[in-house]
């Protein structure tokens, strides 16, 4: 899909009294991308955060997260006077038409979403607002959270002894890390939950640029909008776990999961998205959202058996490459050295939350092995998280020096067509464990490698 056509938007040089103004609380992944992209459509946006260091970075034009294309959009809209960053919620909301809550909802110990930051933001809005607002929840939250946001704001206003009307809306995000700018500016749809005509009018105005480009704007009730976000991620996670389960069966029966994927993906009822077999999903969305939806089901005495199985399959799949390693080398890996390509949970991001790489590294170290890793963007964050228990290479081929095997965990583009002569010279043994099926087993056999992948015939079977 083409990026949103912005050619008709009002002149970018000057603000005017009719231009829409919004505030966004939270400058994490969702808040920063949303704020920058809405500014790109002509809206004046002020982003708020309590992290002084982050706001200072942003005001200097530095981006605290890795997301392709984001830095350029932030710089352009700061220069055009449409994107601002502040520590003050009161300042951000002073002349705003609407305020987004886009703070994190990390998982609690029981799998539920931790709503402390969402409700704290709602309370701060109630303490600061001095005119009618539409309060929009962008954070991923369980069904019913928007009504808790409404109650929190109402309580804050009552404590102040003021009666200021406000409306609420739910506007969940559907952004893929590594492609979030494109996803925001060229969405498949925009989902909006409202309960009042005024909230709908404000949201229609906010997304007017998208309507002009024929993007479907799907209005619905607030609980349905909240559920849509969780259901979408749960469906995608289900497809991933389903295909991984099929891949493991393919290995057992001698089938090739890549051919099976083509066979089922060509069916228009199935489609070919999210059918790649591998070593499991990770990141900040799928694991958290599946667990939160399961917890919601439990809270309402409805067991989501399918999603519990999805999570079990995924946790098992994260260990599949380690099990292939121990089947080849034995359980005691003392003295063995492994080169690992890829740390991020997927290409295009530096996010290692719940990444399969972390599970693999932990299992290798506990088995007595050492690991030397390379990732194009995720190594600084990994070093902060793991310290020096692993070695950090300066490049993909530097990671290979003297290693007993290469292990591929993230399918970065630069790994897909490597210089195999470099690999052969650097590795102590010509062994590759491929957790993302980026090479052809037949070709690897021809090159003389012992090659293990997921759901495809290995070297000895081709």
Angle, CA of 223, 226 and 228, to the nearest 5°: 105
Distance CA(425)–CA(404), nearest Å, equals: 12
Nearest to 29 by CA among 157, 194, 158, 139: 139
Strands 450-452 and 391-392: unpaired
Distance CA(37)–CA(77), nearest Å, equals: 9
For every residue of 285-330, DSSP letters joined together read SHHHHHHHHHHHHHHTT---HHHHHHHHHHHHHTTHHHHHHHHHH-
Give the pLDDT confidence score for residue 11 in this predicted structure: 40
Q: How many CB atoms lie within 10 A of CB 37?
A: 25
Distance CA(437)–CA(257), nearest Å, equals: 10
Show Cβ contacts of residue 402 under 8 Å, excluding neighbours closer than 6 positions. Answer: 337, 426, 428
pLDDT digits (tens, 9 = 90+) for 319-349: 999 999 999 999 999 999 999 999 999 999 9
Are 121 and 145 within 8 A, CB to CB? no
285 is catalytic: yes
Rg (CA), the chain: 24
Grouping H, G, I as helix, E, B as strand and the rest as coil, residue 237 is: helix
Q: Which of 37, 47, 279, 285 is catalytic?
A: 285
Are 1 and 17 within 8 A, CB to CB? no
Give the pLDDT confidence score for residue 250 in this predicted structure: 97
Q: How many CB atoms lie within 10 A of CB 186?
A: 16
Distance CA(4)–CA(212), nearest Å, equals: 9
Are 138 and 102 within 8 A, CB to CB? yes
Q: Residue 397 gets which letter from DSSP?
A: T
pLDDT digits (tens, 9 = 90+) for 166-218: 999 999 999 999 999 999 999 999 999 999 999 999 999 999 999 999 999 99
Give the pLDDT confidence score for residue 109 in this predicted structure: 77
Are 248 and 314 within 8 A, CB to CB? no
Show Cβ contacts of residue 316 under 8 Å, excluding neighbours closer than 6 positions. Answer: none
Are 4 and 37 within 8 A, CB to CB? no
Along the 462 residues of the chain, how does pLDDT read in single tens digits?
Answer: 445 655 444 444 344 456 899 999 999 999 999 999 999 999 999 999 999 999 999 999 999 999 999 999 999 999 999 999 999 999 999 999 999 999 999 888 788 889 999 999 999 999 999 999 999 999 999 999 999 999 999 999 999 999 999 999 999 999 999 999 999 999 999 999 999 999 999 999 999 999 999 999 999 999 999 999 999 999 999 999 999 999 999 999 999 999 999 999 999 999 999 999 999 999 989 999 999 999 999 999 999 999 999 999 999 999 999 999 999 999 999 999 999 999 999 999 999 999 999 999 999 999 999 999 999 999 999 999 999 999 999 999 999 999 999 999 999 999 999 999 999 999 999 999 999 999 999 999 999 999 999 999 864 544
Task: Return the exposure string of 436-449: e unless at least 16 CB atoms fall within 10 Å of the residue's CB, then b.
Answer: bbbbebeebbebeb
Nearest to 26 by CA among 92, 107, 73: 92
Give the pLDDT confidence score for residue 457 in this predicted structure: 82
Q: How many CB atoms lie within 10 A of CB 113?
A: 24
């Amino acid at each position: 899909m083409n990026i949103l056509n912005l050619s008709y938007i009002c002149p970018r040089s000057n603000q005017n009294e009719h231009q829409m103004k919004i505030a966004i609380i939270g400058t994490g992944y969702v808040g920063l991308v949303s704020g920058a992209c809405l500014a790109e459509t002509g809206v004046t946006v002020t982003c708020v955060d309590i992290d002084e260091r982050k706001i200072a970075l942003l005001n200097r034009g530095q981006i605290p997260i890795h997301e392709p294309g984001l830095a350029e959009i932030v710089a352009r809209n700061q220069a055009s006077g449409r994107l601002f960053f502040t520590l003050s919620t009161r300042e951000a909301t002073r002349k705003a038409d609407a305020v987004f809550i886009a703070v994190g909802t990390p998982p609690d110990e029981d799998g539920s979403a931790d709503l402390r930051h969402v409700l704290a933001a709602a309370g701060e809005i109630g303490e600061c607002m001095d005119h009618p607002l539409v309060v929009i929840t962008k954070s991923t939250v369980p069904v019913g959270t928007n009504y808790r946001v409404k109650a929190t704001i109402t309580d804050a206003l009552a404590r102040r002894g003021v009666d200021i009307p406000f409306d609420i809306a739910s506007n969940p995000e559907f952004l893929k890390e590594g492609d979030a700018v494109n996803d925001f500016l060229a969405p498949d749809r925009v989902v909006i939950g409202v309960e009042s005509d005024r909230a709908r009018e404000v949201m229609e105005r906010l997304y007017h640029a998208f309507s002009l480009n024929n993007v479907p704007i799907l209005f619905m009730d607030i609980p349905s909008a909240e559920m849509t976000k969780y259901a979408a991620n749960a469906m995608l996670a289900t497809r991933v776990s389903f295909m991984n389960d099929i891949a493991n069966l393919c290995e057992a029966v001698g089938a090739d999961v890549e051919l099976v994927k083509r066979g089922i993906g060509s069916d228009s009822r199935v489609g070919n998205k999210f059918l790649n077999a591998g070593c499991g999903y990770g990141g900040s969305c799928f694991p958290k959202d599946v667990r939160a939806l399961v917890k919601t089901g439990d809270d309402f005495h409805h067991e989501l058996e399918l999603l519990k199985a999805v999570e079990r399959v995924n946790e098992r799949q994260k260990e599949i490459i380690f099990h292939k390693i121990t089947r080849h080398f034995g359980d005691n890996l003392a003295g063995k050295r492994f080169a690992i390509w890829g740390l991020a949970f997927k290409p295009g991001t530096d996010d290692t939350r719940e990444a399969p790489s972390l599970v693999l590294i932990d299992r290798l170290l506990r088995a007595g092995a050492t690991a030397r890793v390379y990732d194009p963007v995720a190594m600084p964050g990994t070093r902060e998280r793991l310290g020096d228990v692993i070695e950090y290479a300066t490049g993909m081929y530097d990671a290979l020096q003297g290693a007993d095997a290469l292990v591929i965990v993230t399918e970065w583009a630069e790994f897909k067509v490597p210089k195999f002569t470099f690999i052969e010279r650097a590795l102590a043994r010509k062994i590759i464990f491929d957790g993302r099926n980026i090479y052809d087993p037949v070709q690897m056999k021809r090159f003389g490698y012992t090659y293990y992948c997921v759901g495809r015939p290995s070297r000895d079977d081709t």
